[in-house]
Amino acid sequence: MKKNRFNRLKKKFRYYDDSIDLEERVDILLSELRLKEKFRLLSGLNFSWWTTKPIRRLKIKRLGMTDGPIGVASHSSHFKKNTEFPCSKCLSSTWNRTLAYEYGLAIAKEVRDVGRHVLLGPGINIDRTPLNGRTFEYLSEDPYLTQEMAIPYVQGVQSQRIGACIKHYAANNQETNRFYVNVNVDERTLNEIYLKAYKGVVEKADPWVFMSCYNKINGTHGCENKELLRDTLMDKWGFNGFVVTDWFATRRISEPVKSLLAGLSLEMPLTLIYKLRFLKKAFKEGKFSEDDLNYVIRRLLRVMFLVGLFDSSDKVPKGERNTPEHQMLAKKIAEESIVLLKNDNNLLPLDINKVRKIAVLGPNAKKKMGKVLYGGAAAVHPPYEITPLQGLEEKSEGRIELINDPSSADVCIMFLGLNHSIGNDCENYDRKNLELPKKQIQLIKETVKKNPNVIVVLKNGSSIAMDEWIDLVPALVEAWYPGLEGGRAIANVLFGNVNPSGKLPITFPKKLSDSPAHKSHRTYPGDENVYYEEGLFVGYRHFDNEKIEPLFPFGFGLSYTSFEYSNCKLNGKMLTPEEELTISLEIKNTGEREGSEIVQMYLSDDECSVERPPKELRNFAKVNLQPGEKKVLSFKLTINDLTFYDINTHNWKYEPGIFTILIGSSSRNIHFEQKIELRE
């Protein structure tokens, strides 16, 4: 806002004075609002879809939102073209907290530049089934990894005075029947698996907005669920922001008072339940008080101040979009996220001086993934997108012939996977099965007959079964949806300019029935009801518990170099609730290339009065090493790493006893085990 205008407003309305403390400014504004105006603020501006209603009398501007989390969506930014960042699965495959911060910061600048104030992301639902059409938008099957990537992301976003909106709270783990399915989940599972990352993000990153889900949780829709919103999110965890509905979620409910008392501040995108006449009537009948109303309005106003709606422009960080810096960041994230899954006889990396002819095949070689609404709300329409084929063309600089015929090529690169069409990684629709489309499998089989040197590069956002073809191909690369610079990132990895260092944030099962949610129709997709009968045993927790060999385990990824783990030490054997322990180890790059390794620390409870998963991720570190270089890494262990959720006290609890710390390069490749004892 221009200085002169701002000064005029400041004279007239005290809450425009940015030298006053935030909470006081909120109080002043709240005291100015008439009852009717408060009611008005409770729902979005009809037919705008993305903003709150303005209150002209008090110069309250509209709070603008835009879809995310993988860039500023075109459909919510007046059809602008914006940086298409790599999808959330890319980000979590980097296991790089610093990159998550930079990612959030860059997106926030783009949000500001399109004139919005809240980014509708990150989505932090847990990957319960690989069929979920929105898996590419979420981070992981593991609550700890999810939380660790989401915290810096939110901090990055909010460093720019843009609100991060954490979605979709909670237990929104499938798209089939997403508007009404009632998730039946027990209290411990809900807290240990499905709520844990939300709690961690609230406690460590103080997000300004939460989006409630469409589905019901144990009988009540997300947007009227007092237990989840007011009691847990606000009272227990100390969330200070406001809750917004998912778009049109209130279509399924009829009781505005219930939502209001549950803590819902904003109904989007327009007025359905928070209608003036409903609210007036209920207020007159004493169904809620002005204090109840103030409770939700205050939260909304507070965020309006935080994002700078009442500040002069020099107090608000500047926005920018489509800058070379954002594009380079997108490339870096894509490069770090690529997971090398198989590399027989070191077929990769390709030597640019030796390879003369490459057959480039498969439907994703030329396919662009960034289009308006393509894949759903998270879609971003970028100013350009480098396809895998373009990436190869650029890399080869005319020195390598790119052809279609496998039989006359030195090597074949097949770009396969999914493509965001309905049922293939797309909001509102789950996938129908875990396999690649039949035509692609056929293409693999035909190609290997003509040339055995086949490298499959997958673009997709969720796991894929490969039993039918994995043994036929010597090399396999998971590239996810790598954003607008994806083609270059892939080429850099294929030719060894970048050494792959991504690790899987989800388990790849051999077949769907191995997956924990797929025991029966009741457990997935259900009808009106779905039952989370597998309890805590989601993702690798299930594969470990049932001793099922996955196709690729959680935390797995290869490199062009090798790492040696040694000298694992504990600084003590005893942990008490007050004292922490440190575990350290050495890690050495024993190969010939620079590379990064993701070292993972899991924990297992040797004996406990309740059943616990065989192991759970508790920490990780990514370390970059030159050839021959060695570094010492250490992890701290505190009482919080040892607790479980106790349904008798409805709280986290520890039990004295023996625990095992496991240090690994994946959830299935454990290098060290160390026992510790927890004493009172």
Positions that interact with ligand BGC (CB under 6 A): 67, 120, 167, 246-247, 377
d(CA 320, CA 303): 22
User: Least distance from C-beta 166 to ligand BGC, angstroms?
Assistant: 11
User: Least distance from C-beta 480 to ligand BGC, angstroms?
Assistant: 19
User: Least distance from C-beta 525 to ligand BGC, angstroms?
Assistant: 17
Bridging pattern class, strands 163-169 and 209-212: parallel
The CA-CA-CA angle for residues 100, 463, 595, to 5°, reads 50
Q: Counting beta carbons within 10 angstroms of the beta carbon of residue 437, is it exposed (0 to 12), middle (13 to 18) or buried (19 or more)?
A: middle
Q: Name which of 319, 283, 371, 418 is nearest 81 in CA terms.
A: 371
120 vs 149, which CB is nearer to ligand BGC? 120
Bridging pattern class, strands 220-221 and 209-212: unpaired
User: Least distance from C-beta 379 to ligand BGC, angstroms?
Assistant: 10
- Tally DSSP H helices, then E strands, for the chain: 16, 26
167 vs 395, which CB is nearer to ligand BGC? 167
40 vs 134, which CB is nearer to ligand BGC? 134
376 vs 557, which CB is nearer to ligand BGC? 376
Contact residues for 319 (Cβ-Cβ < 8 A; gap 6+) = 109, 110, 111, 112, 113, 114, 160
Q: Counting beta carbons within 10 angstroms of the beta carbon of residue 496, is it exposed (0 to 12), middle (13 to 18) or buried (19 or more)?
A: middle
Structure letter (DSSP) for residue 548: P
d(CA 272, CA 259): 12
User: Least distance from C-beta 64 to ligand BGC, angstroms?
Assistant: 13
167 vs 258, which CB is nearer to ligand BGC? 167
253 vs 377, which CB is nearer to ligand BGC? 377
Please confirm, yes or no, whether 235 is among the known catalytic residues: no
Bridging pattern class, strands 669-678 and 657-666: antiparallel
77 vs 453, which CB is nearer to ligand BGC? 77
Greatest Cα pair distance, the chain, in angstroms, is 82
91 vs 120, which CB is nearer to ligand BGC? 120
User: Least distance from C-beta 182 to ligand BGC, angstroms?
Assistant: 17
The structure tokens listed for 351 are 């030597």
649-661: b (≥16 Cβ within 10 Å) or e = eeebebbeeebbb
d(CA 492, CA 477): 12
642 in Cβ contact with 678 (< 8 Å)? yes
User: Least distance from C-beta 548 to ligand BGC, angstroms?
Assistant: 32
User: Least distance from C-beta 175 to ligand BGC, angstroms?
Assistant: 9
Q: Name which of 534, 502, 540 is nearest 518 in CA terms.
A: 534
120 vs 297, which CB is nearer to ligand BGC? 120
Tally the C-alpha atoms within 13 A of residue 639's C-alpha that lie toward its C-beta: 12
Which string of DSSP letters, residue by residue, matches 238-282?
Answer: ---SEEEPPTTGGGG---HHHHHHHTEEEB-SS-SSS-HHHHHHH
Neighbouring-strand partners of residue 65: 118
Q: Residues 113, 127, 142, 246: which is the catalytic one? A: 246
User: Least distance from C-beta 72 to ligand BGC, angstroms?
Assistant: 12
User: Least distance from C-beta 364 to ligand BGC, angstroms?
Assistant: 25
67 vs 311, which CB is nearer to ligand BGC? 67
Bridging pattern class, strands 357-361 and 401-403: parallel
Bridging pattern class, strands 163-169 and 118-120: parallel
617 in Cβ contact with 142 (< 8 Å)? yes
Place of tokens 């309005």: 297
Active site residues: 246
